[in-house]
A and B are shown apart, each in its own frame.
Chain A
């Protein structure tokens, strides 16, 4: 009896483990933020300090003044928003059909969608470059949106079909009896049941595009460069500009964090997949 740990003890251990895990995720980001707040002189100090000795917004001022960066933020936003919309437009109806009308062909379809994610992105880069070149879409927003959509759709497809699995088939049938076409039932009844699913899928598609580096690097050169590329260039064009680079990275991460916090309720709610009650 005596040596059996009490439930409280067990809980403490679990909480501690969770804390360590969360910190291990958060640590690099915290370091990024703290570096961005150091005055330029302190950034490369040896040994490096974890927390800024003095807090300064100088890096942020530099970044905002950097030519090309505001433009890159705009490009990133446009590309990510368009990618999200296009991905949802393609993936949501496809996921619905493959979830509610499960046949051998739809299973194969989902499987193939997954396979495209298993190929390393690098190996897709060259053919993608050729395709975009042929289409005359190199260094265009549209070209990048298409490239990003091709990577975002499989994920969106799998996420949404998991959400649709939880929808009873009778709901669509009831709507059809009540005077809807199949598509009408989808729009009037099924989609409004999925705010969480749509929110999560939209967020993931957005992030996939927002953070994408490789395709952006290969497919853009001047006009439609996205922010990750411009941020990376801080270390080549202007020498080793760690301070402004971290500041830019912090700025760039803010929208995603903000949106995630805003959608927190939907995301947590949506993680209990398929809980549509009649």
Chain B
């Protein structure tokens, strides 16, 4: 077990733009760290540099107390779970799990004991003598886990290990991996592009975009205090609604609508006062909008907007609203262009709502939960 420290790490493939730019942070001993971000943001690259499978163009990588930039993967004492599992097709499950121990020169009976133990933990005992080709996706995934845990390495690296499973199994394995990691207490770096996985699994989450660190924090803090527009939109589903707005004194104007911000909002965000008389970006999470006619929310401000679509999901109802303020693009390359173009706000409404498409809705908005961003730097205003 060990901490992992990245110190001003850069990665350039060939002569192209940097895939990782100036990445510095520290992963604590025993911590479950998630790397999340849209496709191509450099998550795998960062992970593979920690693994030693990719060279580091500049900066220092420290595992434990040792600079490992030039240490071979086999000598880093780190286990990795691949997205494709990368099981050895010609070896049985038993041989697959035993392989890292055999390479480490562990004694035969000790290998036997530890493989059996890993198989028991992962419920693979009945399959030990089968070949990976004969296993289901979930079983293969667990063999890959078994191969990683059997060696008791200093750290686990996992690159989207659940993305080849169906949704139900994914949720189940998500919980199992977290449980296993807690039990073993091994420092873990987990790569995903799924913000739900990031939020539910990580002790802390590193958000990357285009090779640059956006924010590194606990899931709660990412949600409540996103550092910038990108993180605000990336974390949470459906995405945060982002609009151009103007502030005049305590009066916030969003298109044709306006809200009086209570004093507490300015107290919580001392920087906000300076934006009086200027434009800024305001963010409203779907869960902070409700139908004013039926809401349980208190201390809300009211605005109104036409309803364009109502999706009843049972426990909640998603209501799409055509706010007439200017929509702000979050610059997430994974959000389909069409989705950005539709530019409707989404509210996560109480299922008691009677609203229909075409109605003009009275909306209850909680001012304390609004997010504010600088329109130029796109950083949060605090």
Contact = CB atoms under 8 A, between A and B. Distances in A.
Contacts of B89: 193, 276-278
B103 interface: yes
A188 B74 CA distance: 14
B54 to A, nearest CB: 10
B100 A189 contact: no
A107 to B, nearest CB: 16
A166 B79 CA distance: 25
Contacts of B140: 278
Most buried by A among B80, B103, B151: B103
A180 B74 contact: yes
B53 A178 contact: no
A173 interface: yes
Nearest to A193: B90
A176 B74 contact: yes
Given A168-B86, A192-B90, A177 B133 contact: no
B351 interface: no
A174 B74 contact: no
A170 B82 contact: yes
Residue of B72, B73, B140 contacting most chain A CB atoms (<10 Å): B73
B131 to A, nearest CB: 10
Contacts of B147: 174, 178
B85 interface: yes
B88 to A, nearest CB: 6
Nearest to B80: A177
A125 B234 CA distance: 69
A269 interface: no
Interface string A170-188: 1101111111110010001
A184 B103 contact: yes
B51, B79, B89, B100 — which one has the most chain A CB atoms within 10 A of its CB? B89
Contacts of A174: 80, 82, 86-88, 147
Contacts of A180: 74, 103
B319 interface: no
Contacts of B133: 277
A193 B90 CA distance: 6
Given A178-B147, A184-B103, A278 B74 contact: no
Contacts of B78: 177
Nearest to A192: B90
Contacts of B103: 178-180, 184, 188
A173 B82 contact: yes
A58 B89 CA distance: 53
Interface string B114-141: 0000000000000000001100000010
Nearest to A170: B86
A188 B98 CA distance: 13
Nearest to B148: A177
A168 B100 CA distance: 19
A177 B71 CA distance: 12
B212 to A, nearest CB: 26
A132 to B, nearest CB: 42
Given A192-B90, A277-B89, A277-B133, A178 B99 contact: yes
A100 to B, nearest CB: 13
A93 B100 CA distance: 23
A181 B74 contact: yes
Contacts of B104: 179
Q: Which of A171, A178, A192, A278 has the most CB of B within 10 A?
A: A178
Contact of A278 (B51, B53, B72, B85): B85
A193 B91 CA distance: 10
A193 B86 CA distance: 13
A181 B72 contact: yes
B84 interface: yes
Contact of B88 (A177, A181, A184, A189): A189
A176 B73 contact: yes
Contact of A177 (B79, B87, B132): B79
Interface of A: 168, 170-171, 173-181, 184, 188-189, 192-193, 276-278
Given A177-B78, A178-B100, A277-B133, 18 more contacts: A168-B86, A170-B86, A171-B88, A173-B53, A173-B82, A174-B80, A174-B87, A174-B88, A175-B88, A178-B79, A179-B74, A179-B103, A179-B151, A180-B74, A188-B103, A189-B88, A276-B89, A278-B85
14 contacts: A170-B86, A174-B88, A175-B99, A176-B52, A176-B74, A178-B99, A178-B151, A179-B74, A181-B72, A193-B88, A193-B90, A277-B89, A278-B85, A278-B132
Interface of B: 51-53, 72-74, 78-80, 82, 84-90, 99-100, 103-104, 132-133, 140, 147, 151
The 6 A-B residue pairs with the shortest CB-CB distance in the complex, in nearest-first order: A179-B103, A170-B86, A174-B86, A178-B100, A177-B80, A176-B73
